[in-house]
A and B are shown apart, each in its own frame.
Chain A
Amino acid sequence: MANTIAAAHEHEATASHGHDDHHVSLPQHRHHFETQEQQREAGSFGMWLFLLTEIMFFGGMFFAYLLYRNWYYDAFVTSSNQLSVPLGAVNTVILISSGFFMALAVWAAEVRKKKQLVRYLILTTIFGLAFLGVKTVEYKEKWEKHHIPGASFDVHEFINPAIDAKTGKAEQRPLAPDMAQKTQVFFFLYFAMTGMHALHMIIGLGLLGWLIYRAQRGDFTDGYVAPIENFGLYWHFVDIVWLFLFPLLYLINRHPLQ
């Protein structure tokens, strides 16, 4: 190495190489990504593209809801008032709490606190299960009242509404028999939308079990946060769907007699 310029550059090259090695420090860092940051962003980008397809999927159902609500508004108001607002509101709070603990789980993974990460993931799961529990109570009531669309659907209550014992007046405005049949459209959309939402939660709870197992093993508290972060995006998306379902299904018109 008589050439001083080459010698100087060789030194620079090894220094740069050493720098690279420092960045490729984690086994999770794939070699086709320049940096961990790039890998992380590619992951979030992919997750968001998936969530956009989910927006379109749920969006189709929201659009069907919009048209049929417009068409059969009276049937939608009457059937909406069959849903329990307290149960719906409690479930909203439960789901927001679940999302809050999921957000804290992402934080715990970022600051590499394994115990807290596992604890927050378990709390996310418990609140998710509580949501599905309340949903089961609601579905069971619909089953008992024959409010599930199909051959055994009962329109009796919508044509001859119950009489309020205090005022002696009907609790709801009675519907004509043809409009009363359209309450099935509301309940069909109710079960389709909350059912798909619940299916997303069941899938999410399955993934949470797997994440808790891996978090316990210490997989996500060593600088590799991507699975927790991307699952968090999914879980929050499912929250957002419910934030729209609650007012649109439960709170259509709280003044049916005015």
Chain B
Amino acid sequence: MSEHHYHDASNVVNPEHAEHHIVTPLQYSYVYGGLIIGTIITVLAADINLGVFNPIVALAIACTKAVIVILFFMHVKYQSNLIKVTVGAGFFTFIVLVTMSLVDYMSRAWGLW
């Protein structure tokens, strides 16, 4: 009886339940257009002399494009919280590793980086 009571064949009471979402070709073509425009902007922005801001702008555009790919092409926007947190945790860990390594690197020869 109790087993029957908690049985949830369609998985709807599972907190990880996420409605299965199919992204349409039209939505994919918008994403595709956005990525192409991003590429053009990257090349044009590199030709403008922004000094130290050139790499920052280039990385900002690349990060934006990467987020678009992850959210739509890789369907993370429509996934359960488990997948979203997993992806976020991975990038967060990567940033922690880079930051801590840079802190070590920069503090060893202060001012000479």
Contacts and interface: CB of A to CB of B under 8 A. Distances in A.
A232 B74 contact: yes
**Contact-residue bracket for chain A:** 35 or more
Nearest to A9: B1
B101 A63 contact: yes
A131 B66 CA distance: 19
Contact of A107 (B24, B55, B82): B24
Contacts of A233: 74
Contacts of B82: 41, 45
Contacts of A97: 32
B69 A111 contact: no
A247 B9 contact: no
A89 interface: yes
Nearest to A253: B54
B16 to A, nearest CB: 7
The residue among B18, B65, B102 with the most chain A CB atoms within 10 A of its own CB is B65
A164 interface: no
A251 interface: yes
A20 interface: yes
B22 interface: yes
Interface stretch (A142-150, A173-181, A204-212, A238-246): A238-246
21 contacts: A16-B4, A20-B9, A34-B9, A37-B11, A41-B16, A41-B80, A45-B83, A48-B87, A52-B93, A55-B94, A56-B93, A85-B46, A96-B36, A100-B31, A103-B73, A236-B69, A236-B70, A246-B42, A247-B46, A247-B58, A254-B47
Interface in A138-180: none
Contacts of B47: 254
B46 A52 contact: no
B48 to A, nearest CB: 9
A232 B76 CA distance: 12
A244 B23 CA distance: 25
B43 interface: yes
Interface in A199-254: 229, 232-233, 236-237, 239-240, 243-244, 246-248, 251-254
A62 to B, nearest CB: 8
B17 interface: yes
Contact of B11 (A35, A102, A237, A258): A35
Which 7 pairs show the lowest CB-CB distances between chains A and B?
A52-B90, A247-B58, A251-B46, A100-B32, A255-B49, A35-B11, A236-B73
